[in-house]
Amino acid sequence: MVKIIVINNYGQFCHLIHRAVRDLNQEVEIMKNTSSIEEILAKEPDGLILSGGPTLERAGNCSLYVKELDLPILGICLGHQVMAKACGGKVRTGVAGGYASVEIEIIEQDEILKGIGPKISVWASHADEVSVLPPDFIKLARSHVSEIEAMKHRIKPLYGVQWHPEVSHTKRGNDLLRNFFEVCQSY
């Protein structure tokens, strides 16, 4: 069992992430995105999930968490975008817009996507998307909608996915979460 902190970025799925983690028998707690590094570390988490949310401007201290915490971090949707921007990548308004089912092609079988793919159907919003991969990151997945659907840092345990693994519309979402818990356990 690992302890996961879900950072609330005011997105509609934050509580679904919490429930998905809990339903997979992990210890989980939601914290505000304005929490300090010290407040997060006081909880002694094994990993962090940056939830989705409406805008980068409302992402609180998430960039700071990505840069300063020595923990595995999974960025989901906005969390993926915050991670990219914090590490030197770029984010733009998406061409496709709102929520829809998207077929993802996994191009790099990594620890976070092991056993998943080579293609999966996911639920994602592309209102905003990562347009330029940050230095030291590897692209893990793409789609006809976005060239960077998933990424990971070459060395640090930092992962980002554009889609929502916590919703029932996403195939193999629980497998992605379990893979993240394994990363947290072995880190």
Reduced to 3 states (helix: H, G, I; strand: E, B; else coil), residue 112 is: coil
In the set 77, 80, 153, 184, the catalytic residue is 77
The mean pLDDT value for 162-172 works out to: 94
Preceding peptide of 45 cis, ω within 30°: no
Range of the domain at 32: 3-186
Structure-token pair, residue 116: 């998943």
Structure-token pair, residue 37: 């590094």
Q: Is 62 a catalytic residue?
A: no
Mean pLDDT over each residue of the chain, to the nearest integer: 95
Q: How many domains does the chain have?
A: 1
In the set 18, 62, 129, 166, the catalytic residue is 166
Structure confidence by residue, pLDDT tens digits, 71-80: 999 999 999 9
Determine phi and psi for 183, rounding to 5 degrees: -60, -45
- The residues, ordered by sequence, that sit 6+ positions from 120 with a Cβ below 8 Å of its Cβ are 103, 104, 106, 170, 171, 172
Domain CATH code at residue 51: 3.40.50.880
Torsion, Cα of 48, 106, 182, 186 (10° steps)? -90
**pTM over the 0.85 mark:** yes
